[in-house]
Structure 1
Amino acid sequence: MKDETQASDGKASPVFVVGSGRCGTTILDQSIGMHSQFESLPFEAQVLVSPDMRNGLVRAFQDPPGNERTDLIRAHLQNRFSFLHNGRRLGFCSWTTKEAYTQMTEDLLRDIKIPASSIRTFLDKLYAPYLSMTGARFWIDGTPANGCITKEIVKIYPEAKFVHPIRNGIEVARSIVRKGWKSGSFERALHHWNIWVSRARYFGNSLGSDRYIEIDFQSLTKDPAAEMLKVSKFLGVEMEESMLNRFSPTRANIHRLKYEKWEIDLLQKIAPGMSEEFGWIRHDAMMPPNGRP
C-alpha cells in the first residue's frame, strides 16, 4: 500500500486523534500507536492547546503580538514540561533535558511572528528524538481539544490527518458525571460533549475525507478489527495485528445500557439528529419510567 502519511515537503505528517473527553480518544490513539510506523505521545500532550482552551501555542495565532502573549506561551510550555517530565505521566519529554527544552522554547518565541513555521520547527525538534528512540516514523497527538483548533493545526501541518471517535452523548455525559467533572451536572456534560464534537466535525469535514475520518465508538468496540482496518486505510498503511491489542471482549458489552427517557429527550434537544445518524437509541434501550442505569 502506498504510504500516504508523508507530506509533500518530505517531512512526516502527524496524526491527531480529536473529539471529546470520554469518547474513546485514548484507546484509539494507543491502538494506532501500536503500529510499527506510529508512536503515541505518552500522554495527551496539551502543548498546542490546554483542555480549558485558554492556553497553548495556539495563542500565537489568536492573540496580538507582544510581551504578554510571549510570556503566556512561555509559561504554558514551562508548565507542560514540568508536569509531564517530572510528574507521573509516563515520562513524557524524558528524551530531552530541561536546558534543551528551554532553548527550543526561546528559539520558538524569537520567531513567533511567523507562528506556523516556528511552531512546526519547535514540535519537530521536540518529537524527533522520541521517534528516533522508538523507531517510529510518525507521532500521534491524542489531545481531544485539538479538534477545536483544526484550522490552526493545518497551518502548521498542512497535510496532517485527523481521526475523530464519536460516542453516544448519554454515555459520555454519564462518564463525565462519574468523574466529577462539569460540577457533576449531566446537562452541562452533555453540552460540553456536543460543543467539542460539533467543532471537530465542522472543521474536520471542511478538510475532506482524505484528511478527516470519523469512527463510531460503538462500532470500534464491537468490531475493532473492521474499524482499525478502516483507520489503517485512511492513514495509508497496512493494518497490523498489534493494533488490536488494546481491545478486550468486555469492551464490546459496554453499550448494553438502558437510557432513561429524560436522557434521550435531552440528547435530542442538545444534539438533534445525531442519535438517528449513528443509530444510538433503540426502543429496547429505553428504560421504564423512574428506572436507573
Structure 2
Amino acid sequence: MNPQISRPVFVLGCPRSGTTLLQQMLHSHRRIAFPSETRFVHTAYEARHRFGDLERAANRRALAEWITRGGDTKFRVLELDAEEVIEEIVHGPPTLGSALAIVFRAYARRHGKPRWGDKRPSYFRRVRMLRRMFPDAQFVHLVRDGRDAVSSLMRMPWFDGDIYAAALTWREAVDTGKRLGPRLGPGTFYELRYEDLVADPEHELRRLCIFLDEEYDPEMTKAYRHARRTVPSARRWHLRTHEEPNSRHVGAWRDRLRGPEADLVEHVLASRLLDHGYALSGAARPSAAELARFHRIAAHRWRSRHAHAVLDRLVQSREPNPVVSLLRGPVSVPDRLDES
C-alpha cells in the first residue's frame, strides 16, 4: 500500500447493479471518502461554458455558487459549509476539474480521509469526460446479471423507460466495460460481479483493494452499519444496503419478469450474459416483431449517442480554459480519523 496514493475512484455500472452497496463499502474504508450521488459533476461539465473564463475570480465564484446552491445539484448531501467551499474554489486553480476536486477533497477532509471517490451508474457513459478532468482516476465497473438488473430497474418509481430501454441500458454498460478494460489497462480499470461481491465480500473487496493500492479494511464488509445511518428508509430501493451482504435476490428475475419479457431480455443479452459467466435458462425465441422493435430502438439510441459525441467535440473546441484538475497529492487530514 502506498500511503501517498490519491487517485480519485469512480464507480459505474448499469443502474440497479449494486453500485450503492459498493459505494457504502468503499466509504467504510478508513482512507477513502465516498459520498452518496452528488449529481453535479456531469451537470457542471455540461454547463461549463456558462461560467466563461475561470481565470477571472468572479467567474469561479459564479461556478462555486452554482455547485453549492444550484437547483440541479445535490451538494447538500455532503453536509459541507457552502461558504467555505465557495471561497476555496475562488482561491483555487482556474479549471473546472479543480473546482470539483476541491468539493470532494473538502468532503474527504471532513471525514478525516486522504482519498475521495464518486459514484453514479451513468458514469459508464461519461468516462471520457471524467478522464479529461481527472486523468489519474481509477474506474470500478460493477456488473450484475442483466436479467436481474433489468427486472429491478423496471420496478423503480424513477425509471420511465420500458423493457427495451432497460435491456439496452445494461447492454450499453457491459459493452462499454468491455471496451474500457483494454483501453485503460489493469491499473486504471477494474471489473467485478455483484453476485461474487455479495457471496464472498471479503474475498472480492481484498482483490479490489489490491487494484486501488490500498490495504484491505475489514470495516468494508460491515458497510450496512454506515448505510443504516446515511441511506434514508424512504429510498426503499436502497434498503438492502441496510443488510449484511447476501445472495437472497440473486436470480429474482425469474419471479419478476413475465414470460415474454424474460424471453426477450435473455435472447437479446445472451452472448453478453455468457461472456460474464451467467448461465442461460433456455428461454424461447421472441417474436420477430419484438426483435425488430428492439433493434429499431437500439439504432435510434446509437444515433443519439453519436450525435451527442459530435456536439461534445464541437463544444470542447470552444472551451475558454482547460478542464483538467490541477490539484495533486492526498488530502491533508488530522491525525485522528473520523470513522463516521
Quote the sequence identity (%). Answer: 20
Q: How many positions carry a matched residue from both structures?
A: 256
Q: Distance in 2 between matches of 1:236 and 1:250?
A: 24
Contact 1:178 1:184 in 2 (8 A): no
Q: For 1:139, what is the secondary structure of its paired residue?
A: strand
User: What do residues 237-285 of structure 1 show as CA deviations (whole Å, max 9, x unaligned)?
Assistant: 11111010136556222114363664454234433411112232354x9
Of 184, 193, 196, the residue aligned with 1:219 is 196
- Kindly indicate whether residue 164 of structure 2 is the aligned counterpart of residue 174 of structure 1: no
| Within-5 A mapping of 1:272-283 | 272-283=270-281
Report what 1:255 is aligned to: 250
* SS of alignment partner, residue 179 of structure 1: coil
Paired position in structure 2 for 1:97 = 82
1:184-199 matches, within 5 Å, as 185-199=162-176
Give the TM-score normalised by the residue count of structure 2.
0.64
Q: CA RMSD in A?
A: 3.3
Separation in structure 1 between the aligned mates of residue 279 and residue 177 of structure 2, nearest angstrom: 22
Distance in 2 separating the partners of 1:153 and 1:205? 18
Partner of 2:160: 183
Q: Does the 8 Å CA contact 1:39/1:139 hold for their aligned counterparts?
A: yes
**Other-structure match for 2:103:** 126
Instruction: Give how far 1:149 is off.
Output: 1.6
CA contact under 8 A between 2:13 and 2:143: conserved in structure 1?
A: yes
> Larger RCO: Structure 1 or Structure 2 (Cα < 8 Å, ≥ 6 residues apart)?
2
Which 4+ residue blocks in structure 1 deviate beyond 6 angstroms?
Answer: 66-71, 105-108
**Change in 2 beyond 3 A, CA 1:258/1:151:** closer
Shift of residue 56 of structure 1?
3.2
Tell me, in whole angstroms, the C-alpha distance in 1 between the residues paired with 2:105 and 2:193.
Answer: 32
SS in 2 for 1:140: strand
**Structure 2 stretches of 5 or more lacking a match?**
225-242, 285-340
How far, CA to CA, are the matches of 2:244 and 2:104 in structure 1?
A: 34
Which string of whole-angstrom CA distances, capped at 9 and with x for unpartnered residues, describes residues 75-119 of structure 1?
963665775355xxxx42x322247538837978xx4xxxxxx12
Is the CA contact (8 Å cut-off) linking 1:151 and 1:203 kept in structure 2? no
The 1:246–1:271 alpha-carbon spacing in structure 2 relative to 1, beyond 3 Å, is same
TM-score, normalized by length of structure 1?
0.74
**Residue 159 (structure 1) shift:** 1.5
Query: Can you give the 5+ residue segments of structure 1 that lack an aligned partner in the other structure?
Result: 7-11, 50-54, 112-117, 288-293
* SS class of match (1:35): coil
